[in-house]
Structure 1
Amino acid sequence: MSKGYPNFYDRMMKNIASYDLKSFFLFFGLDCIPYFSIANEVVDGGLNLSLLDLPVCTSKGIVNFEFQFDRDEADDRRFIRYGVQLYEKYGFPVMSVVIDFKAQEDEPFPIEISKGCVFTIYVKSLNERNPDIVLNNINDKLAINEKPLGKDLTGLKLLPFLDLDRKIELLDKATEVLFSLDKNLVGLREIKHLMRVIMFYSHQWNYEENLDRLGRWSIMVDDLSQDAVVHFGKVNRKKGREERSYEVARYMIDDGFSAEDVSKYSRLDLSIVNQLMLMK
């Protein structure tokens, strides 16, 4: 695994969850309606500050998500403390949900705090969510031009995490679905977010080939072409901005774009673009 992978995992989960809380809740089978995320800072009696992963105000109180790569007993005790602190801060019932990277199945995990007093942590397993079922649900809907559900698209964004042994294969499949999405069916905002998620996976796992595929594809999509250079220039820093601009220009020239459009989107001077066209 890549160095810093647990931190990457946390960031990705928060990004995907925060983008569409309702669909995230549905994907993990939570039967309450999320309203909005709340401040993730709590302070104990000794004024020690703790940062929670993602507390959310819902129709049934507060749901506190914790995203765990390696969970142990100390973590579970910490989650109990978070629940108490959230209750003391807001006065609402608190449900602790742990999205556990390594758990094999969903399970309520009761912990006895004292005699007759039990705190339950609800563990949700990524391994229990079958990536092939997620893909089939989406492809079946797309085949009949039916809009995928929000929880389907959330599953698509989480796809490489659902089976790490197949992460690159699943990343490829998620990319193929992205390329087949119709903005009139799922919306341009959803397509842009899915593109960024796939781009982040590709960057983390040094999958340069997929970054190039995403770059070429985004240039060809009218509503994505204007910010394609910005996105892929930032992600692929090691290639350098100038080299990326030349690559973008060559792809566009090969695909028949005008010199003015190539100059605009590659950010190369028009005279340079004209020279590249003469050299083609």
Structure 2
Amino acid sequence: MEHARLQVLDARSDAARCPVVRSFFDETTFTATHVVHDPVSRQAAIIDSVLDYDPASGRTQHGTAARIVDYVVAEGLTVAWQLETHAHADHLSAAPWLQTQVGGKLGIGRDIVRVQSVFGKIFNAGTEFARDGSQFDALFDDGSQFHLGTIPVTCLHVPGHTPADMAYIIGDAAFIGDTLFMPDYGTARADFPGGSATTLFASVRRLLTLPDETRVFLCHDYKAPGRDYFAWETTIGAERASNVHVHDGVDEATFVAMRTQRDATLNLPTLIMPSVQVNIRGGRLPEPEDNGTSYIKIPINVL
């Protein structure tokens, strides 16, 4: 892990490699989708997209994702990647639909196979559901590197919220999923299957070794008490100085005790059942049954 961290710092030494980021916030799921592109080549990646889903009717729509398509077209961008930081439990991914509109390979961390194994059993998905990550075009390892146009990208495995969380360091910007929230809100929960507060602490501390000026783009915001606007961009320096859960000086034991106590009070996300079943399939609905309809399962007294 230390070797991968040093590679990130080396890759980011060229200050000219500063991507353009445009974020789209969905207030229904409190999710920020980020479109990041290289201003030289105009090659882009879409990170953590949202498929509109009505839990009462079971209907899906593409209004939120269509805003991204409009932006990509208007800016003349070429989408190279649809990236997921993890298999989200609070919103459905729109990546497959976006691929049909603007292209891009679908990528996620290699440990998605662990999440598929756990939730494949929970939802009794059957042998027809492959638990090998084959629903994705690329599975990234810790330290995997590629380029977005002229800008280097390094993938960091930052588990704890889930086993498969991946942060993408793209030039001077870090897209860290649910690992951290805004400094006044804290950190992600760690009580989902395969989650660990101890592991989350280590992942957060790893991220906080990035340079203070690193721009940090978050996947969610819920408005901290006393703040009346949504926010999804901060810096490593701000997180180190003032994150209410894990600022410099907070030790592992203190964090784990806080996170464990806090998680015990939280309800499951409203969309966890449809979200996980779709997202472990790379954003695709479960295979239709013999009547041509896809169904979401709800296990009783399991989660």
Which range, TM-score by smaller chain? 0.3 to 0.5
Greater per-residue strand proportion: 2
Tell me which of the two structures has the higher relative contact order, counting C-alpha pairs closer than 8 angstroms and 6 or more residues apart: 2
Per the normalisation by structure 2, the TM-score is 0.30
Greater per-residue helix proportion: 1
Per the normalisation by structure 1, the TM-score is 0.32
